Amino acid sequence: MMEIIKSGTKINFTGAKNQFFAFSLVIMAVCIFFVVNKGFNLGIDFAGGTVIQVRFANPVPLDDIREGLKPVINGDFAIQNFGEPNEVLVRIVEHGGIGLQELSDNIKAQLEMKFAGESPAIQRIEQVGPQVGEDLRRKAFLAIIYSTIGILAYVAFRFELLFAIGAILSLIHDIVITLGFYSIAGKEFNLTVMAAVLTVAGYSLNDTIVIFDRIREKIKTGKLNEHTWQEITNMSINETLSRTVLTSALTFIAVLCLYIFGGEVINGFALVMMAGIVIGTYSSIGIAAMFVYVVRSRKGVQFNESPRKRTGGLKKA
């Protein structure tokens, strides 16, 4: 069996708990700052408007396309390359209330007149009203809330409430940093990206459950009679570390290939997944497991010494 981390590794993760928490708090503060002040580059799914994808025979300067479309588009619009250098995406906020087919015909006619030798062709045209966009934003927010509640209930039922709180804190940590990263990147935030955020939440939870399950296994087999909680936490993380690193590395490589070769449509999804894999792997160890250890070590029994060395019963905090 392939092992990235050799058996018997004894890294003292609990000794770095304060560094884990401090690092995460700083990163989360930076991400919240960008989300609040910069916001997101909302796609048509959430912002509403009209999107038109145009393909030319050869790459055409965006400034020339913008000048060429001004006579037929009354409202504000933005142009960006999409996928191939000869494909562009035109995003229109308002287009005067004309029908999509008429708008498409007008744009095509104008581009054919302006760029006669480039054979401009309309690949697709989509429209989302502002009310629909607002409704999608609301449903996306509710999806995160409901999934968080479901995770809390599942982990509390399978383990205990303290473990569930640790998993939720790890989940919030991952979502905040992932959203902050995407805000800083300035990429288009659409339904595909929203789906990636929810996928990241599930991926992070998977790693967390593996560590929690190993901790529970050691408790059930009576390891608390031989080891402190600090030792059990470190042992559980070290024993699952090889599996965690190997799984995360292989998944990251697969998603990286998707990002490089998948095209513009799947680009945002893959970018969020790559960030989420790294963040989720870290938070499973540095946030979820450390939170459970810190609370347990300050609640009731002190875990800084082995039960075998205690005299006169369990020492109360």
Domain residues of the chain, as ranges?
Answer: 14-42+132-309, 49-128
Contact 91, 133 (CB under 8 A): no
Q: In this prediction, what percent of the chain has a pLDDT beyond 70?
A: 85
- Identify the pLDDT of residue 102: 79
Q: What is the pLDDT of residue 27?
A: 94
By the 8 A CB rule, do 254 and 248 touch?
no
Q: How confident is the model at residue 168 (pLDDT cuts 50, 70, 90)?
A: confident
- Could you say which architecture CATH assigns to the domain 14-42+132-309? Up-down Bundle (1.20)
Distance between CA atoms of 289 and 291, rounded to whole angstroms? 5
250 or 150, higher pLDDT: 250
pLDDT band at 1 (very low <50, low <70, confident <90, very high): very low
pLDDT the model gives residue 105: 81
CATH, domain 49-128, list 3.30.1050.10, 3.30.70.600, 3.30.70.100, 3.40.50.1100: 3.30.70.100
pTM of the model: 0.74
How do residues 65-103 score in pLDDT, each as one tens digit?
888 888 877 767 778 777 778 888 888 776 556 677 777
The reported pLDDT for the residue numbered 4 is 61
16-30, 163-177, 288-302: which range is least confident on average?
Answer: 288-302
Alpha helices in 76-228 (DSSP H): 100-114, 130-158, 161-185, 191-220
Listed residue (193, 203, 192, 286) closest to 250, CA to CA? 203
pLDDT interval class at 19 (50, 70, 90)? very high
Q: Which two tokens stand for residue 316?
A: 């109360």
Mean pLDDT of 138-157: 80
- Burial of 46 per CB tally in 10 Å (0-12, 13-18, 19+): buried
